[in-house]
Amino acid sequence: MIRLPAFEYLKPRTVSDAVKYMSDRGPDAMLVAGGTDLYPNLKRRQFEPKALVGLRGIRELRGVRASGGGATIGSGTTLTQVATHPAVARRYPALATAAGLVSSPQLRNMGTLGGNVCVDTRCNYYNQTYDWRKAIGFCMKKDGDICLVAPGSSRCWAVSSSDTAPVLWALGATARLVGPGGERTLPVAALFRDDGIEYLAKRPDEILTEIALPPDDGWASVYLKLRRRGSFDFPVLGVAAAVRREGDIVREARIVLGAVASQPREATAAAAALVGQRLTSETITRVAELAAGPSKPLDNTDFTHPYRKKVTRVYVARALARLAGLDAGPSSYEAGA
């Protein structure tokens, strides 16, 4: 059995105490919410903090507040609560779907929205035990110097594997961060960086406190996920699509791909090609082709990367067909489905 290393566990009751603990401990501390990703990573020595600042006891971080057509979701709200909240399901069905497709029921009961947004990037050469990683000489994401996927590269290409991140991006959500320097709000789209190691554009001591969703006025959204096992697996492709229509005509659109790069990737040309159009089969086929352009998976996660690239087009077409009412298939597909 792989054991957790020893660490000091701090239990703040307020966000300001959590900020103070993080600031006092400096780089030796990490935040933990549900711990469903961080604890396995600690067991594999992917992180070696001396202290953990636990967010579970902070009441102000929990809950969904729906008002004026929009909603604010505390970062400590569990994925089960997000997936089953009536206002989320009604106004932002893609978010309810994505939260409900994360891993397994047990992990959704512990795992939080904030932890899902900030979840570590993944790679076949990194999500391994310490001894496994040591046997192949480590890589630059932890303990080593080179990238084993792209040895000539000076950066890490680990994959953004959050189910909710592409959806929140597509819905135009904003994130509130609180740190030693005060608080700031930024679009979820600006929260991610295209780097497998420094994948978040937030300081390590900043706490994501809440996600705000704009009013759903006329928007419809959908999320589709590809994974090997339907019961519990990280996405190897996620497609979040949101459109605002007037009558039959699309007036605004966003398509964001998950698990094909180190950050969610927006298919801007494809979304632009939807504007002013009806969601007909012809439009969907053309737009899905365009949407596959930004999908650039590497050979560092499940399934072959040419396959993941190829099915991007298929999944975008299915997502748009769902929005058009032309397809009522499942939201999660296993290999070959």
Residues 6+ away with beta carbon under 8 Å from 176: 183, 184, 185, 208, 209, 210, 211, 212
Burial 85-111 (b: 16+ CB within 10 A, else e): bebbbebbbbbbbbbbbbbeeebbebb
Judged by CB under 6 A, the stretch of 21-29, 101-109, 142-150, 329-337 that binds ligand FAD is 101-109
- 181-220 mask for ligand FAD (x: CB under 6 A)? --------------------------xx------------
- What are the phi and psi torsion angles at 159 (to 5°)? -100, 130
Strands 182-187 and 207-213: unpaired
Q: Which does 162 bind (CB under 5 to 8 A by kind): ligand SF4, ligand FAD, none?
A: ligand FAD
Whichever of 123 and 236 has its CB closer to ligand SF4, that residue is 123
Site for ligand SF4 in 102-131 (CB under 6 A): 123, 125-126
Tokens of 161: 């594997």
The minimum distance between CB 166 and ligand SF4, in angstroms, equals: 20
**Interaction of residue 33 with ligand FAD, rule CB under 6 A:** yes
Q: Which does 301 bind (CB under 5 to 8 A by kind): ligand FAD, ligand SF4, none?
A: none
Site for ligand SF4 in 42-101 (CB under 6 A): none
Out of 139, 189, 259, 324, which residue is the one contacting ligand SF4 (CB under 6 A)?
139
Interacting residue ranges for ligand SF4, rule: CB under 6 A: 123, 125-126, 139-141, 147-149, 156-158, 196, 300
Interacting residue ranges for ligand FAD, rule: CB under 6 A: 30-38, 40, 55, 75, 79, 102-103, 107, 110-112, 114-116, 118-120, 161-163, 207-208, 232-235
